[in-house]
Structure 1
Amino acid sequence: MKVISLVPSITEALFDLGLTENEVIGRTKFCIHPAEKVKNVQIIGGTKNLNIKRIKNLQPDVILANKEENVKDQVEELMKDFKVIVSNTETLEDNYYLLKNLGLLFNLEEKAQLFNLKIYEIFNQVKLKCKVKAAYLIWKNPYMTVGSDTFIHHVLSEFGFDNIFKNDKRYPIIELEDLKEAEVIMLSSEPFPFKENHISEIKEIYPDKKIMIVDGEAFSWYGTHIAKCEMYFKNFIAEFN
Protein backbone atom coordinates (compact mmCIF):
# COMPACT_ATOMS: atom_id res chain seq x y z
CA MET A 1 0.00 0.00 0.00
CA LYS A 2 1.40 3.38 -1.07
CA VAL A 3 0.84 6.05 1.57
CA ILE A 4 1.48 9.79 1.82
CA SER A 5 1.64 11.33 5.27
CA LEU A 6 0.81 15.01 5.73
CA VAL A 7 1.63 14.91 9.45
CA PRO A 8 5.15 14.74 10.98
CA SER A 9 4.21 12.62 14.00
CA ILE A 10 2.20 10.21 11.85
CA THR A 11 5.13 9.83 9.44
CA GLU A 12 7.31 8.86 12.39
CA ALA A 13 4.65 6.43 13.61
CA LEU A 14 4.42 4.72 10.22
CA PHE A 15 8.13 3.93 10.24
CA ASP A 16 8.03 2.91 13.92
CA LEU A 17 5.27 0.45 13.08
CA GLY A 18 7.44 -1.09 10.39
CA LEU A 19 6.59 0.56 7.10
CA THR A 20 9.44 1.25 4.67
CA GLU A 21 10.38 3.94 2.16
CA ASN A 22 8.79 1.73 -0.49
CA GLU A 23 5.40 2.20 1.19
CA VAL A 24 5.69 5.75 2.54
CA ILE A 25 6.10 7.58 -0.77
CA GLY A 26 5.43 11.19 0.29
CA ARG A 27 5.87 13.39 3.36
CA THR A 28 6.00 17.06 4.35
CA LYS A 29 9.21 19.00 4.85
CA PHE A 30 8.47 18.97 8.58
CA CYS A 31 8.46 15.16 8.72
CA ILE A 32 11.98 14.81 10.12
CA HIS A 33 11.85 11.50 12.03
CA PRO A 34 13.32 8.96 11.55
CA ALA A 35 15.98 11.00 9.72
CA GLU A 36 17.73 8.07 8.07
CA LYS A 37 14.48 6.92 6.44
CA VAL A 38 12.55 10.10 5.65
CA LYS A 39 15.49 11.46 3.67
CA ASN A 40 14.57 8.93 0.97
CA VAL A 41 10.90 9.99 0.85
CA GLN A 42 9.71 12.68 -1.57
CA ILE A 43 8.66 16.00 -0.02
CA ILE A 44 5.19 17.18 -1.02
CA GLY A 45 5.29 20.66 0.55
CA GLY A 46 4.57 21.87 4.08
CA THR A 47 1.75 20.74 6.36
CA LYS A 48 -0.29 23.82 5.46
CA ASN A 49 1.09 24.41 1.97
CA LEU A 50 0.75 21.14 0.10
CA ASN A 51 1.90 20.63 -3.46
CA ILE A 52 -1.35 19.11 -4.73
CA LYS A 53 0.05 18.43 -8.21
CA ARG A 54 3.03 16.52 -6.83
CA ILE A 55 0.74 14.45 -4.59
CA LYS A 56 -1.49 13.59 -7.54
CA ASN A 57 1.52 12.53 -9.60
CA LEU A 58 2.56 10.09 -6.86
CA GLN A 59 -0.86 8.36 -7.02
CA PRO A 60 -1.02 7.13 -3.40
CA ASP A 61 -3.48 4.49 -2.21
CA VAL A 62 -4.15 6.46 0.95
CA ILE A 63 -3.30 9.89 2.37
CA LEU A 64 -3.08 10.48 6.12
CA ALA A 65 -4.03 13.97 7.32
CA ASN A 66 -4.88 15.70 10.58
CA LYS A 67 -7.62 18.21 11.38
CA GLU A 68 -5.27 20.63 13.14
CA GLU A 69 -2.10 20.17 11.10
CA ASN A 70 -3.57 20.49 7.62
CA VAL A 71 -5.72 23.02 5.76
CA LYS A 72 -9.33 21.92 5.25
CA ASP A 73 -9.61 23.17 1.64
CA GLN A 74 -6.44 21.34 0.59
CA VAL A 75 -7.57 18.11 2.26
CA GLU A 76 -11.00 18.33 0.60
CA GLU A 77 -9.31 18.87 -2.77
CA LEU A 78 -7.34 15.65 -2.29
CA MET A 79 -10.50 13.80 -1.23
CA LYS A 80 -11.88 14.23 -4.73
CA ASP A 81 -9.28 11.83 -6.12
CA PHE A 82 -7.91 9.83 -3.19
CA LYS A 83 -8.79 8.02 -0.01
CA VAL A 84 -7.91 10.51 2.73
CA ILE A 85 -8.06 9.57 6.41
CA VAL A 86 -8.26 12.60 8.72
CA SER A 87 -7.38 12.19 12.38
CA ASN A 88 -8.07 14.56 15.26
CA THR A 89 -5.76 13.87 18.19
CA GLU A 90 -6.41 15.91 21.32
CA THR A 91 -6.34 13.32 24.12
CA LEU A 92 -4.42 10.17 25.03
CA GLU A 93 -7.54 8.20 24.16
CA ASP A 94 -7.51 9.80 20.71
CA ASN A 95 -3.86 8.80 20.40
CA TYR A 96 -4.68 5.23 21.41
CA TYR A 97 -7.21 4.94 18.59
CA LEU A 98 -4.91 6.69 16.11
CA LEU A 99 -2.29 3.98 16.62
CA LYS A 100 -4.89 1.23 16.78
CA ASN A 101 -6.39 2.35 13.47
CA LEU A 102 -2.98 2.66 11.81
CA GLY A 103 -2.27 -0.88 12.99
CA LEU A 104 -5.51 -2.11 11.46
CA LEU A 105 -4.94 -0.22 8.20
CA PHE A 106 -1.49 -1.71 7.63
CA ASN A 107 -2.00 -5.10 9.32
CA LEU A 108 0.35 -4.15 12.13
CA GLU A 109 -2.08 -4.37 15.06
CA GLU A 110 0.34 -6.12 17.41
CA LYS A 111 3.09 -3.53 16.94
CA ALA A 112 0.61 -0.69 17.43
CA GLN A 113 -0.67 -2.26 20.63
CA LEU A 114 2.87 -2.54 22.02
CA PHE A 115 3.36 1.20 21.54
CA ASN A 116 0.00 1.93 23.15
CA LEU A 117 0.84 -0.22 26.15
CA LYS A 118 4.20 1.52 26.54
CA ILE A 119 2.59 4.96 26.44
CA TYR A 120 0.06 4.06 29.14
CA GLU A 121 2.81 2.49 31.21
CA ILE A 122 4.75 5.77 31.13
CA PHE A 123 1.77 7.83 32.25
CA ASN A 124 0.88 5.34 34.97
CA GLN A 125 4.40 5.36 36.41
CA VAL A 126 5.50 8.97 35.95
CA LYS A 127 3.42 11.31 38.12
CA LEU A 128 3.84 14.47 40.16
CA LYS A 129 3.45 13.94 43.89
CA CYS A 130 1.57 17.24 44.15
CA LYS A 131 -0.26 19.39 41.60
CA VAL A 132 1.89 22.11 40.05
CA LYS A 133 0.34 25.17 38.40
CA ALA A 134 1.91 25.45 34.96
CA ALA A 135 1.98 27.60 31.86
CA TYR A 136 3.29 26.17 28.58
CA LEU A 137 4.38 28.72 25.96
CA ILE A 138 4.59 27.75 22.30
CA TRP A 139 5.23 31.15 20.67
CA LYS A 140 6.74 34.59 21.17
CA ASN A 141 5.73 37.92 19.58
CA PRO A 142 2.99 37.45 20.54
CA TYR A 143 3.26 35.02 23.42
CA MET A 144 0.93 32.06 22.90
CA THR A 145 0.01 29.19 25.21
CA VAL A 146 -2.18 26.07 25.12
CA GLY A 147 -5.84 25.67 26.06
CA SER A 148 -7.73 22.62 27.25
CA ASP A 149 -8.57 21.22 23.80
CA THR A 150 -4.96 20.52 22.84
CA PHE A 151 -2.83 17.41 23.03
CA ILE A 152 -0.17 19.29 25.01
CA HIS A 153 -2.72 20.19 27.69
CA HIS A 154 -3.73 16.56 28.09
CA VAL A 155 -0.13 15.39 28.36
CA LEU A 156 0.53 17.99 31.06
CA SER A 157 -2.64 17.01 32.91
CA GLU A 158 -1.77 13.30 32.85
CA PHE A 159 1.49 14.05 34.63
CA GLY A 160 -0.33 16.14 37.25
CA PHE A 161 0.24 19.70 36.05
CA ASP A 162 -2.59 22.21 36.43
CA ASN A 163 -2.64 24.31 33.25
CA ILE A 164 -3.51 27.84 34.36
CA PHE A 165 -5.07 28.41 30.92
CA LYS A 166 -7.33 25.36 31.08
CA ASN A 167 -10.41 27.57 30.72
CA ASP A 168 -9.18 28.75 27.31
CA LYS A 169 -9.38 26.95 23.98
CA ARG A 170 -6.75 26.19 21.33
CA TYR A 171 -3.74 28.54 21.44
CA PRO A 172 -4.64 31.83 23.11
CA ILE A 173 -2.48 34.94 22.89
CA ILE A 174 -1.35 36.11 26.32
CA GLU A 175 0.77 38.76 28.01
CA LEU A 176 3.57 37.98 30.45
CA GLU A 177 1.43 39.54 33.17
CA ASP A 178 -1.03 36.66 32.70
CA LEU A 179 1.57 34.18 34.01
CA LYS A 180 1.55 35.37 37.62
CA GLU A 181 -0.39 32.32 38.90
CA ALA A 182 2.03 29.80 37.35
CA GLU A 183 4.51 27.99 39.58
CA VAL A 184 6.43 26.83 36.51
CA ILE A 185 6.66 28.44 33.08
CA MET A 186 7.62 25.99 30.33
CA LEU A 187 9.12 27.36 27.11
CA SER A 188 8.74 24.85 24.30
CA SER A 189 11.60 24.16 21.88
CA GLU A 190 9.03 24.20 19.06
CA PRO A 191 7.26 25.58 17.09
CA PHE A 192 9.00 28.72 18.38
CA PRO A 193 12.62 27.87 19.24
CA PHE A 194 12.80 29.22 22.78
CA LYS A 195 16.36 29.52 24.11
CA GLU A 196 18.09 30.37 27.39
CA ASN A 197 18.02 34.11 26.63
CA HIS A 198 14.23 33.97 26.60
CA ILE A 199 14.30 32.59 30.13
CA SER A 200 16.29 35.66 31.18
CA GLU A 201 13.69 37.98 29.65
CA ILE A 202 10.87 36.42 31.66
CA LYS A 203 13.03 36.22 34.79
CA GLU A 204 13.14 40.03 34.77
CA ILE A 205 9.42 40.01 35.53
CA TYR A 206 9.27 36.77 37.56
CA PRO A 207 12.67 36.33 39.25
CA ASP A 208 11.41 33.69 41.70
CA LYS A 209 9.50 31.45 39.31
CA LYS A 210 10.80 28.19 37.83
CA ILE A 211 11.26 28.84 34.11
CA MET A 212 12.58 26.10 31.86
CA ILE A 213 13.06 25.02 28.24
CA VAL A 214 11.16 21.82 27.47
CA ASP A 215 11.32 19.37 24.57
CA GLY A 216 8.43 20.43 22.35
CA GLU A 217 8.38 17.13 20.49
CA ALA A 218 8.00 15.14 23.71
CA PHE A 219 4.87 17.09 24.64
CA SER A 220 3.24 17.67 21.27
CA TRP A 221 4.15 14.80 18.93
CA TYR A 222 1.38 12.24 19.22
CA GLY A 223 1.54 8.76 17.69
CA THR A 224 4.49 6.64 18.79
CA HIS A 225 6.81 9.46 19.85
CA ILE A 226 5.76 9.55 23.52
CA ALA A 227 6.65 5.88 23.91
CA LYS A 228 10.28 6.79 23.22
CA CYS A 229 10.40 9.66 25.75
CA GLU A 230 10.28 7.62 28.95
CA MET A 231 13.66 8.73 30.33
CA TYR A 232 13.08 12.33 29.33
CA PHE A 233 9.77 12.42 31.20
CA LYS A 234 11.19 10.64 34.25
CA ASN A 235 14.03 13.15 34.50
CA PHE A 236 11.66 16.03 33.85
CA ILE A 237 9.16 15.06 36.56
CA ALA A 238 12.01 14.32 38.99
CA GLU A 239 12.75 18.06 39.00
CA PHE A 240 9.44 18.64 40.76
CA ASN A 241 9.13 15.61 43.09
Structure 2
Amino acid sequence: MTFDAHQRQRTVIDQMGREVSFPYPPLRIVSLVPSQTELLFDLGLQKQLEGVTKFCIHPPNARHTASVIGGTKNFDFAKIKATRPDLIIGNKEENYQEGINQLALQYPVWMSNVADLPEALDMIRRIGDITSKSRIAESLASAIQQSFDKLLLPTPPLQAAYFIWRKPYMVAASGTFIDDMLRRAGFRNAFAHVGRYPEVTSEQLAKASPAHIFLSSEPYPFGEKHVAEFQEICPTAKIQVVNGELFSWYGTRLLLSATYFQKLQHARGLE
Protein backbone atom coordinates (compact mmCIF):
# COMPACT_ATOMS: atom_id res chain seq x y z
CA MET A 1 0.00 0.00 0.00
CA THR A 2 1.47 3.34 -1.06
CA PHE A 3 0.46 6.83 -0.02
CA ASP A 4 -0.08 9.94 -2.12
CA ALA A 5 1.34 13.17 -0.69
CA HIS A 6 -2.20 14.31 0.18
CA GLN A 7 -3.20 11.10 1.98
CA ARG A 8 -2.92 10.15 5.64
CA GLN A 9 -3.63 6.94 7.51
CA ARG A 10 -7.13 6.76 8.93
CA THR A 11 -8.81 4.07 11.03
CA VAL A 12 -12.59 3.54 11.24
CA ILE A 13 -15.04 0.88 12.37
CA ASP A 14 -17.18 -0.59 9.58
CA GLN A 15 -20.79 -1.82 9.82
CA MET A 16 -19.63 -5.26 10.91
CA GLY A 17 -17.68 -3.80 13.83
CA ARG A 18 -14.32 -4.42 12.13
CA GLU A 19 -11.45 -1.97 12.46
CA VAL A 20 -10.22 -0.81 9.06
CA SER A 21 -7.12 1.33 8.44
CA PHE A 22 -6.59 2.89 5.02
CA PRO A 23 -5.05 5.87 3.19
CA TYR A 24 -7.46 8.80 3.42
CA PRO A 25 -8.99 9.91 1.21
CA PRO A 26 -8.77 6.68 -0.81
CA LEU A 27 -7.69 7.35 -4.38
CA ARG A 28 -8.04 3.79 -5.73
CA ILE A 29 -11.27 2.02 -4.74
CA VAL A 30 -12.63 -1.43 -5.59
CA SER A 31 -16.38 -2.04 -5.11
CA LEU A 32 -17.61 -5.62 -4.64
CA VAL A 33 -21.34 -4.77 -4.58
CA PRO A 34 -23.53 -3.39 -7.41
CA SER A 35 -25.70 -1.09 -5.27
CA GLN A 36 -22.63 0.38 -3.58
CA THR A 37 -20.92 0.86 -6.95
CA GLU A 38 -23.86 3.02 -8.03
CA LEU A 39 -23.56 4.96 -4.77
CA LEU A 40 -19.86 5.63 -5.40
CA PHE A 41 -20.69 7.04 -8.83
CA ASP A 42 -23.43 9.21 -7.33
CA LEU A 43 -20.90 10.50 -4.81
CA GLY A 44 -18.75 11.65 -7.73
CA LEU A 45 -16.04 9.01 -7.24
CA GLN A 46 -15.93 7.53 -10.74
CA LYS A 47 -12.28 8.57 -11.20
CA GLN A 48 -11.28 6.81 -7.98
CA LEU A 49 -13.20 3.63 -8.79
CA GLU A 50 -10.66 1.13 -10.14
CA GLY A 51 -12.59 -2.15 -9.88
CA VAL A 52 -16.23 -3.32 -10.00
CA THR A 53 -18.05 -6.65 -10.36
CA LYS A 54 -19.62 -8.03 -13.51
CA PHE A 55 -23.02 -7.37 -11.90
CA CYS A 56 -22.40 -3.63 -11.49
CA ILE A 57 -24.84 -2.55 -14.20
CA HIS A 58 -25.66 0.93 -12.83
CA PRO A 59 -24.58 3.30 -14.15
CA PRO A 60 -24.32 1.59 -17.56
CA ASN A 61 -20.71 2.71 -18.05
CA ALA A 62 -19.49 1.35 -14.70
CA ARG A 63 -17.94 -1.77 -16.22
CA HIS A 64 -16.26 0.27 -18.95
CA THR A 65 -14.60 2.89 -16.76
CA ALA A 66 -13.27 0.39 -14.19
CA SER A 67 -11.77 -3.11 -14.32
CA VAL A 68 -14.21 -6.01 -13.88
CA ILE A 69 -12.83 -8.07 -11.01
CA GLY A 70 -15.18 -11.07 -11.15
CA GLY A 71 -18.52 -11.58 -9.43
CA THR A 72 -19.77 -10.83 -5.94
CA LYS A 73 -19.02 -14.39 -4.79
CA ASN A 74 -16.06 -15.31 -6.98
CA PHE A 75 -13.39 -12.62 -6.98
CA ASP A 76 -10.55 -12.51 -9.50
CA PHE A 77 -7.73 -11.85 -7.05
CA ALA A 78 -5.18 -11.16 -9.77
CA LYS A 79 -7.35 -8.43 -11.27
CA ILE A 80 -7.96 -6.92 -7.85
CA LYS A 81 -4.21 -6.88 -7.19
CA ALA A 82 -3.66 -5.10 -10.50
CA THR A 83 -5.91 -2.24 -9.37
CA ARG A 84 -3.59 -1.54 -6.40
CA PRO A 85 -6.53 -0.59 -4.16
CA ASP A 86 -6.34 1.87 -1.29
CA LEU A 87 -9.72 0.60 -0.16
CA ILE A 88 -12.07 -2.27 -1.01
CA ILE A 89 -15.77 -1.88 -0.19
CA GLY A 90 -17.93 -5.01 0.27
CA ASN A 91 -21.04 -6.32 2.00
CA LYS A 92 -21.63 -9.11 4.50
CA GLU A 93 -24.54 -10.73 2.66
CA GLU A 94 -23.60 -10.23 -0.97
CA ASN A 95 -19.96 -11.26 -0.74
CA TYR A 96 -18.44 -14.51 0.49
CA GLN A 97 -16.54 -14.65 3.76
CA GLU A 98 -13.63 -16.73 2.48
CA GLY A 99 -12.92 -14.25 -0.30
CA ILE A 100 -13.25 -11.25 2.00
CA ASN A 101 -10.90 -12.85 4.53
CA GLN A 102 -8.32 -13.43 1.81
CA LEU A 103 -8.55 -9.84 0.58
CA ALA A 104 -8.32 -8.46 4.13
CA LEU A 105 -4.91 -10.09 4.53
CA GLN A 106 -3.53 -7.72 1.87
CA TYR A 107 -5.82 -4.70 1.61
CA PRO A 108 -8.08 -2.49 3.70
CA VAL A 109 -11.60 -3.94 3.32
CA TRP A 110 -14.59 -1.94 4.59
CA MET A 111 -17.77 -4.02 4.98
CA SER A 112 -21.40 -2.92 5.09
CA ASN A 113 -24.15 -4.88 6.86
CA VAL A 114 -27.60 -3.76 5.74
CA ALA A 115 -30.91 -5.36 6.76
CA ASP A 116 -33.24 -2.34 6.83
CA LEU A 117 -33.63 1.27 5.70
CA PRO A 118 -31.88 2.89 8.72
CA GLU A 119 -28.84 0.67 8.14
CA ALA A 120 -28.88 1.54 4.43
CA LEU A 121 -28.88 5.26 5.23
CA ASP A 122 -26.11 4.70 7.78
CA MET A 123 -24.10 2.87 5.10
CA ILE A 124 -24.52 5.76 2.66
CA ARG A 125 -23.36 8.27 5.26
CA ARG A 126 -20.42 6.11 6.34
CA ILE A 127 -19.21 5.56 2.79
CA GLY A 128 -19.50 9.30 2.25
CA ASP A 129 -17.36 9.82 5.36
CA ILE A 130 -14.60 7.37 4.42
CA THR A 131 -14.36 8.74 0.86
CA SER A 132 -14.40 12.45 1.81
CA LYS A 133 -17.87 12.95 0.33
CA SER A 134 -19.89 13.46 3.52
CA ARG A 135 -21.87 16.46 2.30
CA ILE A 136 -23.13 14.73 -0.84
CA ALA A 137 -23.84 11.51 1.09
CA GLU A 138 -25.89 13.39 3.70
CA SER A 139 -27.93 15.06 0.96
CA LEU A 140 -28.63 11.69 -0.70
CA ALA A 141 -29.52 9.96 2.56
CA SER A 142 -31.84 12.80 3.58
CA ALA A 143 -33.62 12.73 0.22
CA ILE A 144 -34.18 8.97 0.52
CA GLN A 145 -35.53 9.34 4.06
CA GLN A 146 -37.89 12.12 3.01
CA SER A 147 -39.25 10.05 0.12
CA PHE A 148 -40.10 7.19 2.48
CA ASP A 149 -41.58 9.57 5.06
CA LYS A 150 -44.10 10.70 2.43
CA LEU A 151 -45.10 7.15 1.51
CA LEU A 152 -48.79 6.51 2.21
CA LEU A 153 -49.51 2.99 3.44
CA PRO A 154 -52.71 0.95 3.31
CA THR A 155 -54.23 -0.23 6.60
CA PRO A 156 -54.13 -3.03 7.45
CA PRO A 157 -51.08 -4.23 5.49
CA LEU A 158 -51.79 -6.89 2.89
CA GLN A 159 -50.08 -10.27 3.02
CA ALA A 160 -47.52 -10.91 0.28
CA ALA A 161 -44.94 -13.52 -0.69
CA TYR A 162 -41.80 -12.28 -2.43
CA PHE A 163 -40.05 -14.82 -4.68
CA ILE A 164 -36.39 -14.46 -5.60
CA TRP A 165 -35.74 -17.89 -7.17
CA ARG A 166 -37.33 -20.73 -9.12
CA LYS A 167 -36.38 -24.42 -9.14
CA PRO A 168 -36.31 -24.49 -6.21
CA TYR A 169 -38.73 -21.78 -5.16
CA MET A 170 -37.08 -19.38 -2.72
CA VAL A 171 -38.56 -16.37 -0.96
CA ALA A 172 -37.22 -13.38 0.94
CA ALA A 173 -38.32 -13.85 4.54
CA SER A 174 -37.56 -12.22 7.90
CA GLY A 175 -34.25 -10.53 8.62
CA THR A 176 -33.73 -9.41 5.03
CA PHE A 177 -33.63 -5.95 3.48
CA ILE A 178 -36.43 -7.02 1.13
CA ASP A 179 -38.61 -7.87 4.12
CA ASP A 180 -38.12 -4.35 5.47
CA MET A 181 -38.96 -2.87 2.06
CA LEU A 182 -42.13 -4.98 1.84
CA ARG A 183 -43.26 -3.64 5.19
CA ARG A 184 -42.53 -0.05 4.16
CA ALA A 185 -44.41 -0.66 0.91
CA GLY A 186 -47.49 -1.67 2.89
CA PHE A 187 -47.25 -5.46 2.86
CA ARG A 188 -46.95 -8.17 5.51
CA ASN A 189 -44.54 -10.95 4.62
CA ALA A 190 -46.37 -14.28 4.28
CA PHE A 191 -43.17 -16.04 5.34
CA ALA A 192 -42.15 -13.70 8.15
CA HIS A 193 -42.02 -16.67 10.53
CA VAL A 194 -39.11 -18.14 8.55
CA GLY A 195 -35.56 -16.77 8.47
CA ARG A 196 -33.70 -15.18 5.58
CA TYR A 197 -34.10 -16.94 2.17
CA PRO A 198 -35.83 -20.29 2.66
CA GLU A 199 -36.87 -22.76 0.01
CA VAL A 200 -40.64 -23.24 -0.09
CA THR A 201 -42.75 -25.89 -1.75
CA SER A 202 -45.90 -25.41 -3.78
CA GLU A 203 -47.81 -26.93 -0.87
CA GLN A 204 -46.34 -24.43 1.60
CA LEU A 205 -47.24 -21.56 -0.70
CA ALA A 206 -50.79 -22.82 -1.13
CA LYS A 207 -51.16 -23.18 2.64
CA ALA A 208 -49.84 -19.65 3.25
CA SER A 209 -52.35 -18.38 0.66
CA PRO A 210 -50.95 -14.84 0.34
CA ALA A 211 -53.16 -12.13 -1.15
CA HIS A 212 -50.23 -11.00 -3.30
CA ILE A 213 -47.32 -12.83 -4.89
CA PHE A 214 -44.41 -10.75 -6.11
CA LEU A 215 -41.99 -12.30 -8.61
CA SER A 216 -38.72 -10.39 -8.47
CA SER A 217 -36.85 -9.48 -11.65
CA GLU A 218 -33.63 -10.48 -9.88
CA PRO A 219 -31.66 -12.54 -9.00
CA TYR A 220 -33.88 -14.97 -10.89
CA PRO A 221 -35.23 -13.25 -14.02
CA PHE A 222 -38.92 -13.80 -13.40
CA GLY A 223 -41.15 -12.64 -16.25
CA GLU A 224 -44.81 -12.55 -17.23
CA LYS A 225 -44.47 -16.12 -18.54
CA HIS A 226 -44.16 -17.32 -14.93
CA VAL A 227 -47.39 -15.73 -13.67
CA ALA A 228 -49.63 -18.62 -14.74
CA GLU A 229 -47.39 -21.09 -12.91
CA PHE A 230 -48.05 -19.34 -9.61
CA GLN A 231 -51.69 -18.68 -10.41
CA GLU A 232 -52.25 -22.44 -10.53
CA ILE A 233 -50.88 -22.77 -6.99
CA CYS A 234 -52.74 -19.74 -5.58
CA PRO A 235 -55.80 -19.10 -7.81
CA THR A 236 -57.06 -16.14 -5.75
CA ALA A 237 -53.71 -14.34 -5.37
CA LYS A 238 -52.81 -11.21 -7.28
CA ILE A 239 -49.50 -12.00 -8.98
CA GLN A 240 -47.07 -9.40 -10.32
CA VAL A 241 -43.53 -9.26 -11.64
CA VAL A 242 -41.77 -6.50 -9.70
CA ASN A 243 -38.56 -4.52 -10.08
CA GLY A 244 -36.15 -6.40 -7.83
CA GLU A 245 -33.63 -3.57 -7.78
CA LEU A 246 -36.12 -1.24 -6.10
CA PHE A 247 -36.76 -3.82 -3.37
CA SER A 248 -33.20 -5.03 -2.79
CA TRP A 249 -30.63 -2.40 -3.82
CA TYR A 250 -29.75 -0.42 -0.69
CA GLY A 251 -27.72 2.40 -2.25
CA THR A 252 -28.92 5.47 -4.11
CA ARG A 253 -31.40 3.39 -6.16
CA LEU A 254 -33.55 3.83 -3.04
CA LEU A 255 -34.28 7.33 -4.36
CA LEU A 256 -36.69 5.60 -6.76
CA SER A 257 -38.17 3.00 -4.42
CA ALA A 258 -40.83 4.93 -2.50
CA THR A 259 -42.41 6.28 -5.68
CA TYR A 260 -42.38 2.78 -7.16
CA PHE A 261 -44.04 1.35 -4.05
CA GLN A 262 -46.75 4.02 -4.24
CA LYS A 263 -47.42 3.14 -7.88
CA LEU A 264 -47.49 -0.53 -6.92
CA GLN A 265 -50.24 0.24 -4.44
CA HIS A 266 -52.21 2.19 -7.05
CA ALA A 267 -51.85 -0.67 -9.54
CA ARG A 268 -53.33 -3.06 -6.98
CA GLY A 269 -56.13 -0.74 -6.01
CA LEU A 270 -54.87 -0.40 -2.46
CA GLU A 271 -55.75 3.26 -2.05
TM-score after normalising by structure 1: 0.95
> Which structure has more RCO (C-alpha within 8 Å, separation ≥ 6)?
1
Partner Cα distance (2:75, 2:85) in 1: 15
| Equivalence for 2:129 | 104
| Equivalence for 2:13 | none
Show structure 1 runs of 4+ deviating over 6 A: none
Contact kept? 1:126, 1:237, Cα under 8 Å: no
**Of 139, 143, 161, which aligns to 1:114?**
139
Deviation at 1:53, TM superposition (A): 1.5
1:126-205 equivalent positions in 2, closer than 5 A: 126-130=151-155, 131-179=157-205, 180-205=208-233
Pair 1:38 & 2:63 matched: yes
Contact kept? 1:123, 1:159, Cα under 8 Å: no
1:30-109 equivalent positions in 2, closer than 5 A: 30-109=55-134
State the structure with more CA Rg.
2
User: Which residues of structure 1 form unaligned runs of 5+?
Assistant: none
Figure out how many residues of one structure are paired with residues of the other and give that number: 240
- Report the secondary structure of 1:45's partner residue: coil
> Is 172-181 or 64-73 further displaced after alignment?
172-181
Deviation at 1:215, TM superposition (A): 0.1
- Report the secondary structure of 1:35's partner residue: coil
What is the CA deviation profile of residues 68-99 of structure 1, one whole-angstrom value per residue up to 9, with x for unaligned ones? 11111111111111100011111111101100
Deviation at 1:24, TM superposition (A): 0.3
Contact kept? 1:100, 1:109, Cα under 8 Å: yes
- Aligned amino acid, residue 4 of structure 1: V
Partner Cα distance (2:84, 2:116) in 1: 32
- Report the secondary structure of 1:141's partner residue: coil
Partner Cα distance (2:242, 2:98) in 1: 33
Contact kept? 2:56, 2:62, Cα under 8 Å: no
Deviation at 1:158, TM superposition (A): 1.6
Contact kept? 2:160, 2:214, Cα under 8 Å: yes
| Equivalence for 2:38 | 12
1:206 to 1:181, Cα distance in 2 relative to 1, 3 A: closer
Partner Cα distance (2:236, 2:183) in 1: 24
1:157 to 1:74, Cα distance in 2 relative to 1, 3 A: same
- Report the secondary structure of 1:174's partner residue: coil
